[in-house]
Amino acid sequence: MGDDREFDRMLEEELTALPLPDDTVAEVNPWRRAMVRIVWGTGLTTLTLNFWYLNYLLPAVGVVLLFLGFRTLRRENRWFALCWGLSLLDLASFYVGRVMDATIWARDLPPLGAALALLGLVRSFCLWRGIRAVRRCAGQEDRAGAAAALLTFQCALVALGLLGGGNLQLQGLFFAVIFLGLYICIMRSLAKLPALLDGAGYVVRAAGARLSELAVWITWAVLLAAGLLVAGTAFCRYPMEWSPVEAGEQQQLEEIRDSLLALGMPEQVAEDLAPGDLALLEGALSVTAQVHEEPFNDGREERSVSGRTIHVQTVYDVRELRLSDIAVELPGGRWRIIHHFLWQAEPGLRTTECISLWPTTRDGFDGWRQEGEVTGRLLFDWQGTTYEGDYYSISTEPYTTNSFFWGESQSTDPTALFSLPRRGEYCRGYLTYGVETVEDGWLLDSWINYTHQVKWLNYPAMTAQEYDRSGIWNGFGAFHTAQTAIQFYPASEAEKGSYQTW
């Protein structure tokens, strides 16, 4: 029996003397494994890359790494327990922020940037104190220089962010190089944190967890994907109200309508006019109408060969949107302008729509004076019934526009916002306003920009109005803008009817 015990003792000594591979040590060492996750999580959430959606993807990974790292160490001391609680808040705030970015209502929330920045500072402070506490327990020097440097760096970033609204500018290459250099040095110091306890003889015990790390990653990915899908589907539209059109609403105004049709007004436009707008056209003297069809698809390429030259042109088999621009002349030098649109094919995505109106009474056109407000209505057909609704808003409040040619400028031109119905055919509508002549010889010149979403990838969610005011033009972003204008000189029959469209 004594020989057996001696043999067991000798065998245990031999096995414990065998050197284990570094990766095996890291696998069974809770401190090293947790600190590696914390270091990587800190790096991915502190500074991000603003291209290829990495500014969203990298922090999405970083917040989970921080959670997993602090979850392992949460029983070690109270500071790591606080870090774990703050990492839960990081997860929740990141989730809410990213899901709200998939909606058009995120800009209506109060700014949370300052609160989240403060949360990051508190977490870095707790990390600094937690590392110091662990080193004291291990009999090492009570300091954590890398964590202190990280805290100082983040304090500087927050201070500069608060000062960024003033005269301080950090867009120069000099500042960028300095901050990048400091960040690299701090990250190199943080990379040494997992090895702090090597050889100290102090063992950190991992806190238990109900969910495995794989389950945490899968749950996070599923919840995030589901939240983005639901938010992007349900909350990327304006609230609209629709009601059936009253049968025979133009019954008492048939004479006016027939007169307009005889003068050349498109039949669809005449039928869509509300009774109040139709009544304003009584006694019309002339109608100038232009119709333009705009494609909202990529079309197809068609090649032809002429000698040694290959000609390539884009052919559109379908032009989804028909735009009709109409000017109705009334007695007394008055005119009524109507801008009508009709989706004669499936519009595709039905999120937000924007019509920007440049009326003939805008700045620089002093020969005209506007009568009344801009009005209009929306219509669509579904299962044999025609429905109508009002625009979500028709605003003339001042706003800032950006243009590649003219830069930033202020405008008060009317903007109409709405969403197409989730289902329905022949979605259509119009805007109308009246003008009167102040001085003869002025160009009657009225434009509209119709902006519609054509690509599903639109994150963070941008509205058609934001696209229209951003100065971005077709070919960039998720939207397409159709622009038409009616332009002619009422006093000159030779030039009447000249029309330009882009």
DSSP states of 420-489 as a string? Answer: --SS-EEEEEEEEEEEEESSTT--EEEEEEEEEE--S--SS---HHHHHHHT--TTSSSEEEEEEEEEE-
- pLDDT at position 26 over 70: no
Question: Which of 53-62, 205-214, 349-358, 477-486 shows the lowest per-residue confidence on average (mean pLDDT)?
Answer: 205-214
Beta carbons of 200 and 137 less than 8 angstroms apart: no
Estimate to the nearest angstrom the gap between the alpha carbon of 484 and the chain centroid: 26
DSSP-derived secondary structure for 232-291: HHHSSS-----EEPPTTTTGGGHHHHHHHHHHT--HHHHHHS-HHHHHTTTT--EEEEEE
- pLDDT value of residue 499: 43
* 321: pLDDT strictly greater than 80: yes
Q: Kindly give the pairing relationship between strand 499-501 and strand 425-437.
A: unpaired
Least confident window among 32-46, 199-213, 241-255, 294-308: 199-213
The pLDDT of residue 343 is above 50: yes
- Provide the angle, in degrees to the nearest 10, between the axes of the packed helices 78-101 and 213-234: 30
Instruction: Kindly tell me if the per-residue pLDDT of 387 is higher than 80.
Output: yes
> How sure is the predictor about 24, in pLDDT bands with cuts at 50, 70 and 90?
very low
pLDDT at 405: 46
What percent of the chain shows pLDDT beyond 70? 82
Q: For residue 326, is pLDDT > 70?
A: yes
pLDDT digits (tens, 9 = 90+) for 456-488: 989 898 999 999 888 777 777 899 999 999 998
pLDDT, position 464: 93
Mean pLDDT of 172-201: 73
pLDDT grade for 302, boundaries at 50, 70 and 90: confident
Please, what is the average pLDDT of the chain? 82
Which of 40-54, 186-200, 484-498 is the most confident on average? Answer: 40-54
